[in-house]
């Protein structure tokens, strides 16, 4: 029997704009808006549906409907956090389902629609509380909140001072995992909820980058390195702060670290792994649409450097914890707290 998942995903990716237009038309019929309003909203709606279709294609290709379910849940939380009605999200998913049922062949359409039905079923249940918010009663969170307050108050120098002062009592690795990483998650949560400006999010991120450099300078490197790790983002992923934190944790643990930054092509990452005889490659993907790029990295590294182990992480994998298996990686780090231990386990330490 033919596996319809690659075929369905390919059709969704190749014709995303066309299916998006059909979904926007279905939404217009569902909401019975005026023709003028529909014309004004058409470009924005097509862009919205195109992104949902690419996310759907990723879930279908990986045979992991949970990827699409989690994305719908995230969109719902963002709406509710802004005090908006969640009905438009449900209407959009119903319209997308209707359009794909009409546009795709029956068997292909059923494969594409299954994750949408799962998302609609999940949306029928009460929303889950956000467990990622910082709690002032926790010492690490309290320090992270002080750091955030200084950053968003346009006082990056004071924010840096708060963290550097804390280095007198906390190890650098704990500063990264218990202060900087939670602060990044919190400002991201606030931004998605509409409670923080882009400028505030950028202030926190760039101040954190400066701190990682300062922490690195204040922490002596070992005389000789036993292991080498390469850390990078997949092609198309411009969000490198999380994997940079992971790289710094490995450096603090005594590894030679080669941090290669954002949007690195799979073949170049594979060449680097072979050239520098890497023991471990850490690959980060933020969007579920980048999982295919992660699979390309795994395949390329396997061809060029058979002994190198591959550890993946990032928000794309957090959406469905078994996605790392689908891309062929050796392991998955769910958090910065576990990233070094996960890498050591993969190479047998």
pLDDT at 347: 93
**Quick one: pLDDT at residue 38?**
47
The pLDDT value recorded for residue 211 is: 96
pLDDT at 45: 85
**pLDDT at position 37, please?**
46
Residue-level pLDDT at 258: 96
Q: For each of the chain's 349 residues, which pLDDT tens digit applies?
A: 568 999 999 999 999 999 999 999 899 888 775 444 444 456 788 889 999 999 999 999 999 999 899 889 888 887 886 778 888 899 999 999 999 999 999 999 999 999 999 999 999 998 876 666 677 677 778 899 999 989 988 899 999 999 999 999 999 999 999 999 999 998 988 887 777 889 999 999 999 999 999 998 888 766 677 899 999 999 999 999 999 999 999 999 999 999 999 999 999 999 999 999 999 999 999 999 999 999 999 999 999 988 999 999 999 998 887 899 999 999 999 999 999 999 999 998 7
- Domains defined for the chain, CATH in brackets: 4-123 (1.10.490), 139-218 (1.10.1240.10), 228-346 (3.40.50.280)
- Residue 270: its pLDDT value, please? 96
Give pTM, 2 decimals: 0.83
Q: What is the 3-state secondary structure (H, E, C) of the chain?
A: CCCHHHHHHHHHHHCHHHHHHHHHHHHHHHHCCCHHHHHHHHHHHHHHHHHHHHHHHHHHHCCCCHHHHHHHHHHHHHHHHCCCCCHHHHHHHHHHHHHHHHHCCHHHHHHHHHHHHHHHHHHCCCCCCCCCCCCCCCHHHHHHHHHHHHHHCCCHHHHHHHHHHHCCCCCHHHHHHHHHHHHHHHHHHHHHCCCCCHHHHHHHHHHHHHHHHHHHHHCCCCCCCCCEEEEEEECCCCCCHHHHHHHHHHHHCCCEEEECCCCECHHHHHHHHHHCCCCEEEEECCCHHHHHHHHHHHHHHHHHCCCCEEEEECHHHHCCCCHHHHHCCCEECCCHHHHHHHHHHHCCC
The pLDDT value given to residue 163: 95
């Amino acid at each position: 029997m033919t596996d319809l998942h690659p075929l369905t995903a390919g059709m969704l990716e190749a014709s995303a704009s066309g299916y998006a237009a059909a979904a926007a038309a279905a939404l217009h019929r569902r909401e019975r808006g005026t023709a003028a309003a529909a014309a004004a909203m058409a470009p924005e709606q097509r862009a919205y549906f195109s992104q949902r279709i690419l996310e759907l294609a990723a879930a279908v290709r990986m045979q992991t409907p949970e990827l699409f379910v989690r994305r719908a849940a995230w969109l719902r939380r963002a709406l509710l956090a802004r005090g908006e009605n969640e009905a438009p999200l449900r209407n959009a998913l119903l319209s997308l389902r209707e359009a794909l049922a009409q546009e795709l062949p029956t068997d292909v359409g059923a494969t594409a629609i299954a994750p949408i039905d799962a998302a609609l079923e999940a949306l029928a249940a009460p929303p889950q509380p956000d467990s990622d918010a910082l709690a002032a009663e926790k010492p690490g969170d309290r320090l992270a909140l002080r750091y955030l307050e200084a950053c968003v108050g346009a006082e990056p120098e004071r924010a840096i001072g708060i963290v550097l002062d804390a280095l007198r009592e906390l190890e650098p690795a704990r500063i990264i995992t218990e202060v900087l990483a939670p602060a990044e998650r919190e400002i991201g949560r606030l931004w998605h909820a509409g409670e923080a400006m882009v400028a505030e999010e950028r202030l926190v991120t760039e101040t954190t980058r400066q701190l990682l450099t300062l922490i690195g300078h204040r922490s002596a490197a070992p005389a000789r390195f036993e292991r080498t790790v390469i850390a990078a983002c997949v092609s198309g992923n411009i969000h490198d702060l999380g994997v940079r934190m992971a790289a710094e944790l490995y450096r603090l643990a005594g590894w030679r670290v080669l941090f290669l930054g954002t949007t690195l092509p799979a073949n170049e990452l594979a060449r680097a792994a072979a050239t520098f005889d890497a023991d471990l490659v850490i690959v980060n993907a933020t969007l579920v649409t980048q999982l295919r790029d992660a699979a390309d990295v795994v395949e390329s590294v396997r061809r060029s450097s058979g002994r190198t182990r591959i550890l993946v992480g990032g928000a794309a994998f957090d959406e469905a914890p078994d996605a790392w298996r689908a891309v062929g990686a050796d392991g998955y780090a769910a958090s910065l707290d576990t990233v070094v231990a996960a890498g050591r386990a993969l190479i047998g330490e």
